[in-house]
Structures are given as C-alpha cells and as structure tokens.
Amino acid sequence: MTTVYITREAHFNAAHRLHNPSKSDEWNQSVFGTCNSPNSHGHNYILQVTVAGVPDPDTGYVIDLGVLKQVIHERVLRHLDHKNLNLDVPFLDGIIPSTENLVIAIWDQLVDSLPSGKLYHIRLHETPRNSAEYFGPNK
Amino acid sequence: MTTVYITREAHFNAAHRLHNPSKSDEWNQSVFGTCNSPNSHGHNYILQVTVAGVPDPDTGYVIDLGVLKQVIHERVLRHLDHKNLNLDVPFLDGIIPSTENLVIAIWDQLVDSLPSGKLYHIRLHETPRNSAEYFGPNK
Amino acid sequence: MTTVYITREAHFNAAHRLHNPSKSDEWNQSVFGTCNSPNSHGHNYILQVTVAGVPDPDTGYVIDLGVLKQVIHERVLRHLDHKNLNLDVPFLDGIIPSTENLVIAIWDQLVDSLPSGKLYHIRLHETPRNSAEYFGPNK
Amino acid sequence: MTTVYITREAHFNAAHRLHNPSKSDEWNQSVFGTCNSPNSHGHNYILQVTVAGVPDPDTGYVIDLGVLKQVIHERVLRHLDHKNLNLDVPFLDGIIPSTENLVIAIWDQLVDSLPSGKLYHIRLHETPRNSAEYFGPNK
Amino acid sequence: MTTVYITREAHFNAAHRLHNPSKSDEWNQSVFGTCNSPNSHGHNYILQVTVAGVPDPDTGYVIDLGVLKQVIHERVLRHLDHKNLNLDVPFLDGIIPSTENLVIAIWDQLVDSLPSGKLYHIRLHETPRNSAEYFGPNK
Amino acid sequence: MTTVYITREAHFNAAHRLHNPSKSDEWNQSVFGTCNSPNSHGHNYILQVTVAGVPDPDTGYVIDLGVLKQVIHERVLRHLDHKNLNLDVPFLDGIIPSTENLVIAIWDQLVDSLPSGKLYHIRLHETPRNSAEYFGPNK
C-alpha cells in the first residue's frame, strides 16, 4: 500500500484583531501590542490543505483537486474571504483569531467533508514569515 | 552622468473597505462587491519604493538603504501597519483606499522626505496578483 | 492629471513546441534544441497585464480588476489554458510560440477589449527565469 | 546519532495529458475535464528531493549536493525535461501522469541511486498551488 | 490535547567557505570545489524555526511570535548576520559551515531558550534550491 | 517595427564588504555599519538582464536565451559566482561593491557581448528587499 500526500493551496483576504474580551484593555494591549489595534488590521492568508490516500488506479488521484478546491471554497473560503474574522464568521464565534486557533477551526470545517482520502495536515500562513500547522487532535 | 535606480521593499498589514460614503449602499454593493463587506477585510501589502540618482563616489550609494527604510517607516509604515485604512489614517481621510489611491497618497508622503536621490517610482501589491504603480503627477 | 498603472496577474498551463515548418528538421533541431522536442513540452505561464489611466473619483479605480480578470479570461485564458499552443489556438495560427511572439499576440487580443484605461504593458513568464515584455507597436 | 535532512530542488518543463486509455472518451472527459485536452497541455514542474543521513565529519555533508544534482539529472530530468510525459518516457509507460503517480515513479528512479544517505521524501509541484508528496512504500 | 506547530522565518546574510583545515589543499579543492574558494563567498540564508505546543486559552498562542523573533535574534542572528561563519562566530568554532552542520548548531543555540512551547524543527535555506532540516538529536 | 524586451535571470553567490580604503576605519564604520564587517558577509545575488529587439521572423527570438545564458555566464557569473567581490574580481578592482556600483560594472561587461538585440536594462537583487537597476549611461 502506497500512501501519497496531495496538497491544494488557497488564498483568502481577511481582517482580524487579537483581543480577549474577558480581559482588560490594558492586558490586551500589553499581550497583543499592535495586533490589538481597535479597528482591526488584515492579512492575505495562504492556506495549504494536505490529504493522504492511495491513488485510485483508474484516475491516478488521491482526490480530484478540482473537488478539493470546491470543498475548501464551500467549507472555508466562502466564510472567511473578504470578511472580518472577529465579527463575521459563525464557526469562529468566541475564538481569538490567532493563526494557531484558525488552523484548528479550519481543520474542523474540513475533516468530515472529503469525498476521498483523509485530511492529514493544514498549514496557514498569516504573513510570509509567520505560519501555523496542525495534524489534527492527539497528534 | 549615470543614473541608477535603487529599490527598497517594505511590508505592512492593514484592514480596509472599498466604500464611497457619498453613494447609496446599493451602489457600493454593486460596484465594489465583496470588497465592500461592512466589517472590513485586509491584506499583507507589499510596497516597493524606487529612488533615482547618481551614486556618491565615496559610498557607492544613491541613498543609504538603511536611511530609506527609516524614512518609509516614519512616513508610511508607522501610519498604515496594523491599522484600518478607512478609520485610522489622517493622510487617507476622505480617500477610498483602492490600490490606485494608496500609491498616490504614499507618493505624497515620501516625495519631500528623501535626504538624497529623487523619488522615481512606487509599486504597491495588494495581493500577489494585484498591484498599482505610480511615477508621480504629470507622468 | 495623474496616471496610475494597475496590473493583474493570470496563470495558464499550456504545451508548445518551437518549430518553423518552412525549415528542415535539421535546422529546427539545431536552432531550437530541446525546445523542438517533437511531442511538445509545456509551461506554467504567468501573464501580467498593466493598464494605465486616471483613477475614477467615484471608485478609485483605473479599471475594476474583477472586470480586467474577466476580460483576460475571455480574450486570452479561455483560448490558451490547458491547450497546445501550436495546435489548438486560432489566433496563434502560423506563429512560432516563442515568448516574444506570444506577448505580441496576447497584446492584440486585449488592446481593444478594455472598458476603461489603456493597455500599457504585458509581461509573460515562460519559466521563473525567462520572460518577455511588450509595450505595443512603435514603442 | 544525529540525522539531518538535506533537500535539493530541480525544475523540469513537460507536456502531459490525463487520460486512461482503458476507458471511453466520455469517461475521460467527465473525470479529467480540461486536463484531458487531446493535444496535451504542460507545466513547469518543481521537484524537491530530500535525503536523510548523518553528516560526514570530514565534509559536514549528508550527501554532496553537486552529486545529488547530477543523480537527479541522470535518473529523472534527462528523461522528463522538455518531454511529453505520456509519449516520451519509458519509465512512465502505462502510467497516467497525475502528480501522485509521478512522485511514486520518480521515487523508484532515485531510491537505489544515492551514493550516501537514504532517500526520505519527494515533493513535486505541478503548479504553485498543487503538489504531491511521497515517503516511499509502506509509509 | 491539541498540538499546533508555529513557525517564524528569519533572514541573515553571511560569508562562508567550506574548508577542512585538517586536510590538504588538494583534498579541500577536490571535495568542495568552488565552495572552497579561498576568500569566501556568501549567501542570504533563510531560517525557519518551528515550535510545538498547545495554544494558551487566554492568548491563542503557542508562543508569542514577537518573543520568538527576539529569541532568534538574540541567540542566532546577532551572531551570524553580516558575519563570516568561519571566522567571526564563537559557537561555530571548529565546525565546517555546511548547511547540515549549521542547522545542528542553530538548534543547540535555541533549544533551551524558548519561554513556552518546545523546539520541534529547524529548516535552513542556503540558496532557493538547497536546504537542510533538523528535528533534534535521536530523531 | 515591434520591439520586444526579453529577460533572463541568473543567480550568483558572493561575499563582499562595503569599505572605502581612502577613508578612516571610523568613517567606514559609521557610514557602512554592519556592511563594513571586516571579514566580509555575503549574498545570493539575483541578476535580471533585459535585451530589446525585433523578433527574428525565422525563430521568433530577439536573442536565443540559451546564448544569453552563456554570455551572462562567460562575462559575469564566471567572475563573480563563489567569489569575494572585493578581492577576486579584476573588473571590480577599486570599486566599492554596492549594488549601485555592481549594476554599472555588470552592464559594462555585457553591453558589447550580445550577438543580437540591444542591452536595455539590468536589475540586481542583493536581498529580496534591496535591488538596483540601470539602463546604461545618459539614461
């Protein structure tokens, strides 16, 4: 058995603010600094979704990347692209939109939505120099 | 005389919304689409500033790039990085923050602030696939 | 009057072969080398289209980049993406698909199709290290 | 013992077509879409080959990257660069050239050809947004 | 428990020469080729440092990336940036500055300096096409 | 007449030091800062050479990029790659190796060596964020 890992990259542009509403403004300012700026800032996020599986002998595909693109659009980009991550996204409600928390939330959006293969890894770039990765719970 | 063009790239992360307050919500929605999303979205902007001049024989420099970096920080990044371009920036007051309008406003911030050389060209990437350029008025 | 230059980047994947049918196989082999390989090879082409104009005061746009994206799709990508440039493209009929000849042909496809602004510059990357640029005839 | 993983990147430009000759044209069209375009399309493939090993105390090398470059050229690039992957490559005979199948075939070309270190991982980018990875059989 | 992996990228510019002083000039020349050039050459090194941990519920952070940036500066960049890796760096004394040996040395500089999370992975690019990775001893 | 501009990119890795030997150590230290570090530092330089011309009707080429690659190797890379720019390069003798001075020197190496087309533009990246451009004397 021969597992291959196939990755699709997607981009979305969003505003966010790092802020913990259960803490004081002073705490937020001192912990998050400029990322706590009250009227939000934003990023061109780059998302890489990796699916593991054995290639289908009829197609050579672990998963059709056109289908994976559509799943990412339907489950993730439709909700996040050109949005404010603190205010506009039901599945991020109550979550501080750090890159760490975003990869976990995006994993949960995708994990049961793949028609073939198994979700293996997610990477999210907030900037060219900052990124977070997640392999699922208990990994 | 030998003109050389020297470029320094800088990055800033900001939220914005394309919205013309003198027009109706319907007009804004239909013209700007998702870029009009009410709670803002955002970008990792990439700014390239090009200065023209004759290299100084003592240093080989048109302009010290460390100084140019400082000027860009003082005149541009300090005002735009981790900010909301519609709400937080005095020099963008009343300006729709399209990439086109931003390059003109950034030019005006920089043109009289260079200790040597002459401001020649500004390029601003809003996304990896969208950018605007400006060579100054009457060019 | 303030001219701003706005650029949209688009990608297409195509096969091609450098071959001059009016010349002998020996000539073609010796002039084009591996680029003359008989069953074609291919590239991920990167196209950058720059439009010049004065930003519209109501929108801040030289041209709506969503519209420019559609024009590029309709006039260029629809014909070239996932195609063989020697065999499948009517507007390339009889043209050796060098990067130089492609930028001229793409210019001609776009120059009269823009709803606002003026076509100013086209750049086409055949590989990350090879590209051609064109500013129109008589430039 | 201290294992270090060393990676060399190589590029090749090739044409291909996704097509299963044991299926009907209708099946191929509906499964592969534009990737089934009859006269082929193509890509600038980016190949990353990772070798694991303990650095040699005399050289600091797991493997001499100049040698690894030559092995990749001799075993892979010489066969694939400026070629049609469906028609020109003996070791791809009978294989649908999906990115998944290509990484397995490239692994098999390299695994017994390294003078030092052990082949650990292969990544192949078909486009900037699509890639496949392989760690060998039973991984 | 949910482990997330967070990466910060840093850049440094350094000169180096691959040379084993316990061997003859002929040996060095034949093993290292142009990398043995006597007056040094240099690189723009790209360093990626990955830290693993469970996000703090109050901040959403595995580690504050501003703090990680400072640790990388204090423990690594301050010693390597704009330096000669063979002559100027105490912690590289007696080490041939191959990319393999550099990732091990950088790991040792960082492993006990993180205020939260656990050092998981280091990648160092010597050029866009050459890089080394390390997961620590006994991995 | 239809001028097309064709660009070839080349890479070289070199050490350098910004130092004016006719000035005091204090002057050099204060003007050049860490770039004056006595044992040199280095860069992965990226060179883009643009040639202008009318495509040859028989080939579609302004200049054969394989030939341009060879000319760049023979006239530039052979002298600069894996070298120390202050000590090893006759055509840089007496020149402070700032990016500005390097583009002028590289222009002079190339301008009379092209078999077809006309040298139009040179860009040299010292780092991803710093670059210099030159269009020749009196431009």
- For chain D, give the secondary structure using H, E and C: CCCEEEEEEEEEEEEECCCCCCCCHHHHHHHHHHHHCCCCEEEEEEEEEEEEECCCCCCCCCCCHHHHHHHHHHHHHHHHCCEECCCCCHHHCCCCCCHHHHHHHHHHHHCCCCCCCEEEEEEEEEECCEEEEECCCCC
Q: Which of A99, A121, A122, A138 to mutate: most E Cβ within 10 Å?
A: A99
Q: What is the pLDDT of residues C59-111, one digit of tens each?
A: 999 999 999 999 999 999 999 999 999 999 999 999 999 999 999 999 999 99
Q: Is A43's CB within 8 Å of B40's CB?
A: no
Question: Residue for token digits 């799709």?
Answer: C73
The residue among B62, B37, B44 whose CA lies nearest residue B52 is: B62
ipTM, 2 dp: 0.96
Residue E103 has φ and ψ, to the nearest 5°, of -65, -35
Whether A63 contacts A127, CB under 8 Å: no
CA angle F84, F89, F95 (to 5 degrees): 90
Give the contacts of A2 (CB within 8 A, at least 6 positions apart): A54, A55, D104, D134, D137, D138
Q: What pLDDT is recorded for position F29?
A: 98
The residue among B120, B2, B6, B123 whose CA lies nearest residue B65 is: B6
CA E53 to chain centre: 21
Q: Where are the beta strands (DSSP E) in B1-139?
A: 4-16, 41-53, 83-84, 118-127, 130-134
Q: C25 — contact with chain F (CB < 8 Å)?
A: no
Instruction: Place E139 in a pLDDT band, splitting at 50, 70 and 90.
Output: confident
Q: How many contacts (CB atoms, under 8 Å) link A and B?
A: 79
Q: What pLDDT is recorded for position A132?
A: 98
Q: Is-catalytic flag, E35? A: yes
Whether F115 contacts F65, CB under 8 Å: no
Q: Is-catalytic flag, B35? A: yes
Q: Is-catalytic flag, D126? A: yes
> How far away is chain F from the Cα of C25, in angstroms, using its nearest Cα?
14
Q: What is the pLDDT of residues F30-79, one digit of tens each?
A: 999 999 999 999 999 999 999 999 999 999 999 999 999 999 999 999 99
CA angle D16, D21, D27 (to 5 degrees): 95
Q: What is the pLDDT of residues C2-13, one digit of tens each?
A: 999 999 999 999
Q: What is the pLDDT of residues B28-74, one digit of tens each?
A: 999 999 999 999 999 999 999 999 999 999 999 999 999 999 999 99
Task: List D12's β-bridge partners, or say none.
Answer: D45
Cα separation, B53 vs B2, in Å, equals: 8
Q: What is the mean pLDDT of residues D65-81?
A: 98
pTM of the model as a whole: 0.97
The residue among C93, C133, C22 whose CA lies nearest residue F117 is: C133
Q: Is D43's CB within 8 Å of C44's CB?
A: yes
CA angle F42, F48, F49 (to 5 degrees): 130
CA D87 to chain centre: 17
Question: Residue for token digits 């000849």?
Answer: C101
Q: How many residues does chain F have?
A: 139
Within 57-76 of C, beta carbons closer than 8 Å to B belong to 58-62, 64-66
Q: What is the mean pLDDT of chain A?
A: 97
The residue among E68, E66, E62 whose CA lies nearest residue E117 is: E62
Q: What is the DSSP letter of C116?
A: S
Residue D90 has φ and ψ, to the nearest 5°, of -50, -45
Q: B81 — contact with chain A (CB < 8 Å)?
A: yes
